[in-house]
Amino acid sequence: MKKGSIAIVGTGPAALMAGTLLVENGFDVKFFDHKKAPARKFLVAGHGGFNLTNAEELVSFCDKYDRELVKNAVRFFTPQNFIDFLAKIGIETYVGSSGKIFPKKGIKPIEVLNAWLNYLTANGASFHYEHKLNQVELSSLVFETKQGQLTIDADAKIFALGGGSWQQTGSLGDWFDIFSKKNIKCVPFEASNSGLVLDSKLLDEDLEGGHIKNCRLISVEYSKLGDVVLTRYGLEGAPAYAMNRDFRNGHKIVIDFKPSLDESDIVNRMQKAKNVTEGLKNLKLSKIAIQWIKDSVSKEDYLNTEKLANLIKLFELPVVGLRPIDEVISTVGGIDLTEIDENFQLKKLPNYFCVGEMLDWDAPTGGYLIQGAVSTGAKAAHSIILNLGRFEGD
Ligand SMILES: Cc1cc2nc3c(=O)[nH]c(=O)nc-3n(C[C@H](O)[C@H](O)[C@H](O)COP(=O)(O)OP(=O)(O)OC[C@H]3O[C@@H](n4cnc5c(N)ncnc54)[C@H](O)[C@@H]3O)c2cc1C
């Protein structure tokens, strides 16, 4: 006999991991999703390299999350637990550059998803597509389906409805009303892991598509080394994404075009050159850096090596915004974390849980987003296993 019935709304990684622990522990799990097929955003994440998690040491891994609740979930269900699970379903992984973990070469994202779905169905889970959650009652969920309204009851319900970006994947973020009606506070979505939109004075068609390699973007809380690319609107790339939180908090962002040298080294090297142009060339600065620096100083200052060295190390980026939510990798905002307990259970609705990106937390790219989703799903499932499992007294 099954230990209890669980309705999980959503089929992204947060939902699938919650369901995994529950079926493994003898629960009857039903997944519901309004799309025709599961985990569309999970598959989109696989387009440019399926970065599932990261091999970084756990303490610094957890530091990547802005909320203690999510850090705790990652400590509970670690990247290694996720890698072990993937291996169990036949998905071998490898560690790529900067510790990013990917499925072994040749394994397509759809194969990862199918292996996971097969494992769940083999363990008794069922999937119900084209079921759109549109109401939450005290003991049931109401879905809109092709056949009309359907009311589902279950011993516990898990919501894993995702954030607000890439709406074509089904993560519409249009569920705020459902929760607001239950007096559950939702924080408006904002872009995260977005490119930085720059003031048009730095944008130049001739520079578009150019890279600034091995630079460091720096703000108050974060700094990140790496490569950025100049697009028609601004900067894209991991260092730019890492600055989002500081930008949202109103902090200035500067770029260090030459992190490997300190200011005095730069001055020395420049002074050894025949002229400024040769000096800048010897430093192997990108075309973009040279242009931006040239455009930002007077003719006299362009000949002042100290001033130039200072600009090379601390060039203030006139960031005017982030990209529209639909285009970005993730969002912050969603269910306010004060609404849930340490097991991701809604304080106002016992036995209803919220997990994954629909909660208001933030993390950078690099595998931390999917890991945050699966860890929060696992933590909620574990609490259900302890409480409902015990209640059923097997
Ligand atoms: C372009 C791109 C690249 C990315 N690359 C990476 C990466 O390499 N590594 C990484 O860690 N992360 C990456 N991410 C982020 C990662 O994909 C997400 O953080 C993750 O999918 C969130 O998981 P989730 O389960 O919380 O929600 P989602 O995966 O968004 O799933 C939410 C589910 O809920 C369903 N749903 C929503 N509303 C309803 C409703 N009312 N009724 C029924 N069902 C509903 C949706 O259809 C969807 O299936 C990327 C994202 C994007 C957009």
pLDDT at 97: 81
Q: Is 33 close to ligand 1, i.e. is its CB under 6 Å away? A: yes
Q: Is 133 in the pocket of ligand 1 (CB under 6 A)?
A: yes
**According to the model, what pLDDT value does residue 128 have?**
98
SS3 of the chain: CCCCEEEEECCCHHHHHHHHHHHHCCCEEEEECCCCCCCHHHHHCCCCCCCCEECCCHHHHHCCCCCHHHHHHHHHCCHHHHHHHHHHCCCCEEECHHHEEEECCCCCHHHHHHHHHHHHHHCCCEEECCCEEEEECCCEEEEEECCEEEEEECCEEEECCCCCCCHHHCCCCCCHHHHHCCCCCEEEEEEECCCEEECHHHCCCCCCCCEEEEEEEECCCCEEEEEEEECCCEEECHHHHHCHHHHHCCCCEEEECCCCCCHHHHHHHHHHCCCHHHHHHHCCCCHHHHHHHHHHCCHHHHCCHHHHHHHHHCEEECEEEECCHHHCCEEEEEECHHHECCCCEECCCCCEEECHHHECCCCCCCCHHHHHHHHHHHHHHHHHHHHHHHHHCC
Mean pLDDT is lowest, of 48-52, 224-228, 246-250, 372-376, for 48-52
**Of all residues in the chain, what percent carry a pLDDT higher than 70?**
98
Does the C-beta of 373 come closer than 6 Å to ligand 1? yes
Assigned CATH for 5-191+325-392: 3.50.50.60
pTM of the model: 0.94
CA-nearest residue, atom 51 of ligand 1: 329
Measure 71 CA to ligand 1 centroid, in angstroms: 19
Confidence at residue 394, expressed as pLDDT on a 0 to 100 scale:
41
Is 270 near ligand 1, meaning CB less than 6 Å away?
no
Q: Is 195 in the pocket of ligand 1 (CB under 6 A)?
A: no
Cα 381 to averaged position of ligand 1 atoms, centre (Å): 18
pLDDT class of 147 with cuts at 50, 70, 90 = very high
Domain range annotation of the chain: 5-191+325-392, 196-322
| Range in 67-76, 179-188, 232-241, 277-286 the model is least confident about | 277-286
Confidence band (pLDDT; 50, 70, 90) for 391?
Answer: very low
Instruction: Quote the ligand 1 centre to 164 CA distance (angstroms).
Output: 9
Residue 51 in contact with ligand 1 by CB distance below 6 A: yes
pLDDT in tens, 338-351: 999 999 999 999 99
